[in-house]
Amino acid sequence: MSSITELMPFVVLIPLIAGPVCALLPGRGLPWLLATLAMTTAFILSAMVLAAVFDGATLSYAFGNWAPPVGIEYRVDAANAFVALLITGVSAILLPWGKPLVDDEVPERQGSFYALVLIALAGLLGITLTGDVFNVFVFLEISSLATYGLIAHGRDRRALIAAFRYLIMGTVGATFLLIGIAVLYILTGSLNMVDIAERLPTAEGARALQVGLGFIVVGLAIKLALFPLHHWLPNAYTYAPSLISALIAATATKVALYVMLRFIFDVFGAAYSFAALPLAAALMALAIGSMFAGSWLAIMQSNLKRMLAYSSVAQVGYMVLGVSLTTLAGLSAAFLHLFNHGLMKAALFASAGLVAYRCGGLGMNDLRGIGRQMPWTLTAFALAGVSLVGLPPTAGFISKWYLLSAAVAADQLWLVGLILITSLMALIYIARVVEIAWMQPRPEGAPAVQEAHWTLLAPVWVLVAANFWFGIDTRLTVGGATRAAQALAGGVWP
Amino acid sequence: MRDNAILVVVARFLIPLVMLFGLYVQFHGEYSPGGGFQAGVLFASAWILFVFIYGLETALRVIPQRLIYALASLGVLLYALIGVLGVVLGGHFLDFYPLLDAPKAAQQTGIILVEFGVGVTVAAVVMLIFLLFARRRADTVAAGLDPDAADDVRVDAE
């Protein structure tokens, strides 16, 4: 118990320290090897941390031995350990997968490329584990700045504009968050989350506190790509290198959602947040907007990665919808979908990355008839798509099921219809790709495409298998999500 | 600008002074206003003044570009090393008390070392930012293009 507390900050520190070492390493093999080893170690550590906090314990680590609230504290309960496990797990699987694709897309200076990958991941993990609101802002900037750089590495020149656009939107979001944190600091004189929560009751009448909450929620909604603040996301995901698309699609928006929930529940307190602002109604409206706009725009796209990016906007909607039900069951469903969606999007972007690697383009025309030439890749895509649509026995079904039962339990029967309609829309855009890839003939004169090597396919299939595994054995996912919700809103919400 | 006597004399006088002041801010940071970040920027500004007067190639003969890249990482690693040293010696990350027996001296040592890492990285990164812009301009001029219209030209060339 105590030794795991000492090890816990190394989930963040290992990638953070490995980053600058990576930047010094020459060639193509060593930086990749170090990045993979670092993330695998972080994965093992975060699994140990989750095991230690699964029963409701809280780990607290004081940096520099400066006792909180003066010093910076890392504070881990089931909620952030669960998110950290997703980030490290997905990156430990995707990094071995991404090596040949990175060799292809980023041929030069891979040391600094992998250094940026590690620093971006360390930033996301830092946001997740820290118990200090200013530390949240610093790590948000660390991960965002690294991500802008990574997106700009895309081979298409439009990657630069996508990265710049994300930079502008991301900076606006981070500034909003910082304004909110400043308000909290002015009102309470503290930056430690637990300490702020203890001191806030004296400031609850203040209009400034309402404004601060508003700034923080909107700032993080930009990072979360909640409709209508999602405009940076499709281009960023589309033009980034394949490895980066898969990594950030599976992790970045999830961390933004987690930290928004941490602010709403732990810092401001659920009772205050949902009374001071019409949060439940606003989040529900925006969530439904996300679900429909994201799914509709996904159907309209003619580029595979772009389609998946818009689908991410829709999926974020489901998570926020779970939160907006203001019940413990809804919040659990949100955490459950956060984890499961990370798995499915990683699998989908990874198989799309293989198609781009072998076939060159990702337009729907490039995909015609590709299913027969790359059967393993496209089967993986279709199976991960089944999970995205939410058919049994997949992880996607489990999260939809819990979301539906939470909606029913909250007496919001009309939401059931909306969830089913948007799931059908997901079926349309996934089925369209499957139809084009398998049913349509390869265009005349198109060069033959080879199936990807099994070393590339194996990690994708591990992700697909995880989607089915967590559709059947839900002890980790449902158990983790329930405990995460319990850690945040236990005792406040029914 | 090497031919302008006034500039050369003033720069020759100023550059060492600015660097010395940078080092002063660096090593007094733990008990007076200052620290690694400010010191790094000051030090880099002296370097930039040197580049203005003597040209980029001369400056890179003193500190090659690869070394600047390496220094940017090494500064962070010094910081991390001191942090991890606290863990190895039985404390927490960035815990300076285990470094020495006397608590005050231990804090002072830890802060100076960590801030030195910050200073090295900040100086190297500011130099790199300047260097990359200067290189880009030099490349454009070398290619026979107007550097102030370079962006339009480059996009068209793709």
- What are A55-84's pLDDT values in tens digits? 888 888 988 888 888 889 999 988 899 999
Looking at residue B124, what is its pLDDT? 94
Integer Cα distance of A408 and A105 in angstroms:
47
Q: Whose structure tokens read 């459950």? A: A336
Helices (H), chain B: 5-27, 36-54, 56-62, 65-88, 103-142, 150-157
Domain limits, chain B: 5-146
Q: Can you give the pTM of this predicted structure?
A: 0.91
Integer Cα distance of A303 and A309 in angstroms:
10
Pick from B92, B97, B158: which is nearest to A61 by CB? B92
DSSP state of A392: T
The answer to whether residue A199 sits within a structural domain is: no
| Residue A74, helix vs strand vs coil | strand
pLDDT tens digits, A373-391: 888 888 999 999 999 998 8
| B115 contacts in chain A (CB < 8 Å) | none
The answer to whether residue A190 sits within a structural domain is: no
Query: How far, CA to CA in Å, does A341 sit from each of A224, A252, A290, A387, A462?
Result: 14, 12, 15, 9, 15
Integer Cα distance of A171 and A165 in angstroms:
10
Rounded to 5 degrees, what are φ and ψ at B33?
Answer: -55, 135
The answer to whether residue A323 sits within a structural domain is: yes
Q: How far is A26 from chain B (nearest CA, A)?
A: 11
What value, to the nearest 5°, has the Cα angle with vertex A344 and ends A399 and A432? 105
ipTM of the complex: 0.85
Identify the CA nearest to A184 among candidates A161, A170, A202, A158. A202
Number of domains forming the structure of chain A: 1
CB contact under 8 A, B80 and A65: no
**8 Å CB contact between A219 and A176:** yes
Residue A475 lies in domain: 278-494
Cα atoms in the 13 Å half-sphere on the side-chain side of A213: 27
The answer to whether residue A59 sits within a structural domain is: no
The answer to whether residue A242 sits within a structural domain is: no
Q: Report the DSSP beta bridge partners of residue A75.
A: A60
In the predicted model, residues of chain A with pLDDT beneath 50 are: 1
Token pair of A366 as six digits: 């490039």
Integer Cα distance of A256 and B69 in angstroms:
32
- Put residue B50 in one of left, alpha, beta given phi > 0 → left and psi -120 to 50 → alpha: alpha
| B83 contacts in chain A (CB < 8 Å) | 13
Q: Could you tell me if B158 lies within 8 Å of chain A, comparing CB atoms?
A: yes
Longest distance between any two alpha carbons in chain B, whole Å: 65
User: Mutate which of B65, B76, B89, B93 to test chain A, going by most A C-beta atoms within 10 A?
Assistant: B93
Integer Cα distance of A200 and B93 in angstroms:
30
Token pair of A260 as six digits: 């928004």
The answer to whether residue A407 sits within a structural domain is: yes
CB contact under 8 A, B93 and A24: no
- Chain A contacts in chain B segment 3-62 (CB below 8 A): none
In the predicted model, residues of chain B with pLDDT beneath 70 are: 1-2, 149-158
Looking at residue A333, what is its pLDDT? 92
| A156 contacts in chain B (CB < 8 Å) | none
DSSP state of A59: E
Mention every residue, 6+ apart, whose C-beta is less than 8 A from residue A153: A105, A106, A113, A159, A240, A241, A244
Token pair of A402 as six digits: 């819990």
Pick from B84, B91, B155: which is nearest to A65 by CB? B91
